[in-house]
Amino acid sequence: SLDPFELVGFAKTGALAPEEMRVYDTRAAGFWPGEGCGFVVLMRRDEAEAQGRRIYAVIEGWGISSDGSGGITRPDIEGQILALRRAYGRAGFGIDTVSYHEGHGTGTKVGDATELDVLSRARRECGPDAPAAVIGSIKANIGHTKAAAGVAGLIKATSAVHAQVLPPATGCSRPHELLAGETATLRVLRAGAPWPDDGPRRASVSAMGFGGINTHVVLEGATETRPASVDPRLIDMLTSSQDAELILLDGRGPDDLARRVEQVLGFAERLSRAEVGDLAAELSRSLRSRRARAAVVASSPAELARALETVRDALAEGRTELIDVDAGVFLGTRSEPPRIGYVFPGQGSPAPRDGGAQLRRFPDVADLYEQLDLPPDVDEVSTLIQQPAIVTASMATLRVLERLGIEAVAAIGHSLGELTALQWAGACDETTLIRVATARAEAMSLLGSPTGAMAGIAASRQVVRTLIADEADVVIAGLNAPDQTVVSGPAAAIDAVVDRARAGGHRATRLPVSHAFHSKLVEAAVPRLDEHLARESFAPLSRSVISTITGRVLERGIDVPRLLCEQVTAPVRFTDAATLIGERVDVLIEVGPGRVLSGLLAANGVGPVIAVDTGGDELGGLLRAVGCCYAMGAAIRDEELFEDRFTRPFSLDWEPRFLANPCEAAPDAEGGAAPVLAIADEADEATAVAPATDEATAREVLRRMVADHAELPLEAVGDTDRFLSDLHLNSLTVGQLISDTARRVGV
């Protein structure tokens, strides 16, 4: 049913998504049309059991309502509630016992909000203790298949109940506000999860139609038996989803690489989204460690094509090196591997409590997050939360980079980040690092003055010294860049310095921290931290760490406890450390959450630098880091990107084949007879036949056809476009109108 009339109609109503189809997302703006059909076999349960049939699920209840007042695209709340009440009335249990809702989910702003509101309200009416249910929609995977959309949702929900797995939501990276917050009764999953052990396995399916039709079906698992474990292949599929893919190419030289790029460009934009991952896996298997290399990071076929065009153009211009971090495009022909440096963020960067997309894709880092013992009901900016969470996220990324074959030659860490740099250099193991970070956070939080504050000022050290001259308790706590200085001290005094700086035309901002770090206001934390460090064991450093405490390379046998105690009150000399590491490496990777240090390094004229942004909802940062290192000549383990991941075979000789619309086979004016439109009179005889050689003739013919079809006088049909719009004729009606008239006049 993907005919032009239908697509134009949906476009005019604003129902089609102009960009990506997002379902139950804050940016929902329409749907993508899809095609398909589905089959299910229904039997009475007792008959199926008597015949020994495999039962995937049992339909326990169903409800239908049609109030006729919802409008062609606007769903009606009361109509949906009526369908739900009828369904659960038949089922004999409440909606609060349903763990998964397969929603209608067209991805339109009004439609999604209405559906979420109805389901949330229905669950909330069951009482405050009703658990939150998972929601998703298959439309985000296959598009809106219109007449087949309901049966597609039924098949998905049935499969979920049978496999005993709650499916993840696609197309929902920023969940709707009704899905957020502790009081939400619905939630989306980033990755699939085993069905809860408590209670029955129940799912529902909602589907709606034009004009106010609402349907709701309730399913239940056929048996109480729970599998000992989830099918490994299913686990691979559930953890395979990525927001972006890393495409790696190589060649014997620039010309050979250019031919490879052109080959992939020939079909890149015509791939489906899933096929981008299949292509990435196939290209990874075909690499031969050749000298000319290219890497691009893309989240869609269109992005892939644009990135490859950039590589092609660069090669055509004779360029052999290109590093465009923002675009995710990298090109290189180095014969020697690059010198890679790590930078570890400190407090002030985001503090994720889970690993986000990275943990979902690489679940072997889960044990690090399980070691986190964070206090509940504590503010997110609290030192107790931030320090151990940031360190854990950085360690998780270190593990993933090591798995992918990335090795650094030097590292720096900003304040707290120096702890992670020391662990990377061999001073301690991961468990010790988490203990030390937790002890450091507790000492600073409990013994540091709660009246302290910090601020960043866009000015040099010399200028800032004049700004704080009258504030004896305010100190320079950090030298982040030539014109970026951090001050620390009592909150009232910091506010006065900020006001003074702004009055002088300097940008100044209070930092989101809980204490005045790197000042005398946290000096009381040193003895307690020293006491804890005395109980830990530290080894000599085996790798190069450039300290932001001293601004120099640390000696192999450095006294780590003494260094960490000094760090509490000493200023952060990030500019000195950044300059020194910039002289020793070719590329830097910000290993941990956020992108704060990437900006500071750029301000120091050091780069290129790539932020992994651990804990975020995207893998793009990690893939860009790996892609850049590969293009620069690093021997990465790219096969690890596809280990335990579901991909399908892909032929590089692939040519897309599509179902052809019969209308496209009609002869055109140059290739044969022009399309002929006929006008029929009341006697069913052709009274006028005219080639549609111009728009005016075509519109006149159509006006006569509409008048005949609607049994109206010709003069009643004025503006044909408006007339058709007022009639709300769908594609089937218009198509039938044309074919009927054509048949009657014999053309």
Overall average pLDDT of the 366-389 stretch: 78
Long-range contacts of 257-261 (CB under 8 A, 24+ apart): 257/290, 257/292, 257/293, 257/294, 257/315, 258/312, 258/315, 258/316, 261/294, 261/308, 261/311, 261/312, 261/315
Q: What does the pLDDT look like over 95-137, one tens digit per residue?
A: 999 999 999 998 989 889 999 999 999 999 988 888 899 999 9
Q: What is the pLDDT of residue 720?
A: 60
Res. 382: pLDDT tops 80: no
How far apart CA 695 and CA 707 sit, in angstroms, is: 18
Total Cβ atoms within 10 A of residue 316? 10
Overall average pLDDT of the 643-658 stretch: 84
- Listing DSSP states for 226-253 in one string gives --SS--HHHHHHHT---S-EEEEEEESS
Token pair 């896996």 is at which residue? 281
Overall average pLDDT of the 194-200 stretch: 85
> In the chain, what percentage of residues exceed pLDDT 70?
85
- Listing DSSP states for 354-384 in one string gives S-HHHHHH-GGGHHHHHT--PPTT--TT-HH
Q: What does the pLDDT look like over 519-567, one tens digit per residue?
A: 888 888 999 999 999 999 999 999 999 999 999 999 999 999 999 999 9
61 in Cβ contact with 87 (< 8 Å):
yes
Split at pLDDT 50, 70, 90, the class of 691 is very low
How far apart CA 366 and CA 358 sit, in angstroms, is: 10
Pairing of strands 410-413, 340-344: parallel
Q: What is the pLDDT of residue 656?
A: 73
Structure tokens at 397: 């990324």
Tell me the pLDDT of the chain averaged across its residues: 86
Name the phi and psi angles at 323, rounded to 5.
-130, 100
Res. 710: pLDDT tops 80: no
How far apart CA 733 and CA 730 sit, in angstroms, is: 5
Split at pLDDT 50, 70, 90, the class of 66 is confident
**pTM, whole model, 2 decimals?**
0.80
Helix (H) or strand (E) holding 690: strand 686-691
How far apart CA 344 and CA 353 sit, in angstroms, is: 17
Beta-strand (E) ranges in 113-235?
Answer: 133-136, 165-166, 186-187, 193-194, 202-209, 213-220
Q: Which residues 6+ apart lie within 8 Å of 641 measured at CB?
A: 246, 280, 284, 404, 623, 626
